[in-house]
Amino acid sequence: MIGVVAPQTGSARPFSPLLSALLLTGLCAWLFLLHLGSLPFMGKDEPKNAEVVREMMGRNDFVTPTLGEEPWFDKPILYYWGALLFFHLLGPGEMAARLSCALFGMGGVLLTWGFARRLFDDRTALRAGIILATSLEYFWYSRTAVTDLPLTFCVTLSLVAFYRALEGWGSPRLWYPVAFAAAGGAALAKGPVGIVLPGLVAVCYLILTGRIRELVRIPWVTSLLAFLLVAAPWFLAVSLRHGQLFWNDFIVNRNIQRYTSTIHRHPGPFYYYLPILVVGLFPWGALFPFAVGEAVADGLRSLRDKNRRTAYLLCWILLPLVFFSFAGSKLPSYLLPCFPAMAILTAEIWRKVLEEPGSPRRRFWGIACLLALFPVLAGTIYAWCRSEAPEQIRAQAPLALCLAVTAIVLAALAVTKRYRQLFSGCVAGTVASLTALVLFSLGNVREEASLTRIAKVGVQLAEEGKTVVAFRNFHNYLYYYTENRVPLVKRLPQLEKLLDEQGNVYCFLEKAGLRELSQTSLRVEPVDRQYKVVLARVSRPAPGGIPPGKALMDSSGEEKP
DSSP string computed for 485-537 = ---EE-SHHHHHHHHHHHSEEEEEE-HHHHHHHHTSS-EEEEEEEETTEEEEE
Compute how many other C-beta atoms are within 10 angstroms of the C-beta atom of residue 170: 12
Contact 353, 362 (CB under 8 A): yes
Contact 4, 168 (CB under 8 A): yes
Q: 3-state class of 416 per DSSP?
A: coil
Strands laid side by side in the 504-509 sheet:
488-489, 468-471, 504-509, 533-539, 523-530
Q: How far apart are CA 149 and CA 432, in angstroms?
A: 23
Q: What values do phi and psi take at 528, rounded to 5?
A: -160, 160
Q: Which of 49-53, 263-267, 440-444, 503-507 has the lowest mean pLDDT?
A: 263-267
The confidence score (pLDDT) of residue 50 equals 96
Among 317, 162, 272, which residue's Cα sits nearest to residue 227? Answer: 162
- The mean pLDDT of 208-237, rounded to a whole number, is 95
The confidence score (pLDDT) of residue 68 equals 85
Q: What is the pLDDT of residues 523-538, one digit of tens each?
A: 999 999 988 899 999 9
Q: 3-state class of 155 per DSSP?
A: helix
Q: Where are the domains of the chain?
A: 17-35+100-262+270-356, 358-443, 452-539
Among 183, 181, 166, which residue's Cα sits nearest to residue 118? Answer: 166
Q: What is the pLDDT of residues 290-316, one digit of tens each?
A: 999 888 887 777 778 778 899 999 999
Instruction: Categorize the per-residue pLDDT at 258 as very low, low, confident or very high, splitting at 50, 70 and 90.
Output: confident
Instruction: Answer positive or negative: Cα dihedral of 39, 41, 46, 52.
Output: positive
Contact 328, 317 (CB under 8 A): no
The 3-class SS string of 188-242 reads HHHCCHHHHHHHHHHHHHHHHCCCHHHHHHCCHHHHHHHHHHHHHHHHHHHHHHH
Contact 199, 183 (CB under 8 A): yes
Average pLDDT, the chain: 89
Tell me what percent of the residues of the chain surpass a pLDDT of 70. 93
Cα torsion at 28, 31, 32, 34 (round to 10°)? Answer: 130
Compute how many other C-beta atoms are within 10 angstroms of the C-beta atom of residue 550: 16
The gap between the terminal CA atoms of the chain, to the nearest Å, is 81
Contact 234, 64 (CB under 8 A): no
Q: What is the pLDDT of residues 42-63, one digit of tens each?
A: 888 999 999 999 999 999 999 9
| 225, pLDDT greater than 80 | yes
- The mean pLDDT of 164-177, rounded to a whole number, is 94
Contact 231, 187 (CB under 8 A): yes
Instruction: Look up the pTM and report it.
Output: 0.91
Q: What is the pLDDT of residues 536-547, one digit of tens each?
A: 999 988 765 554
In eight-state DSSP terms, residue 541 is P
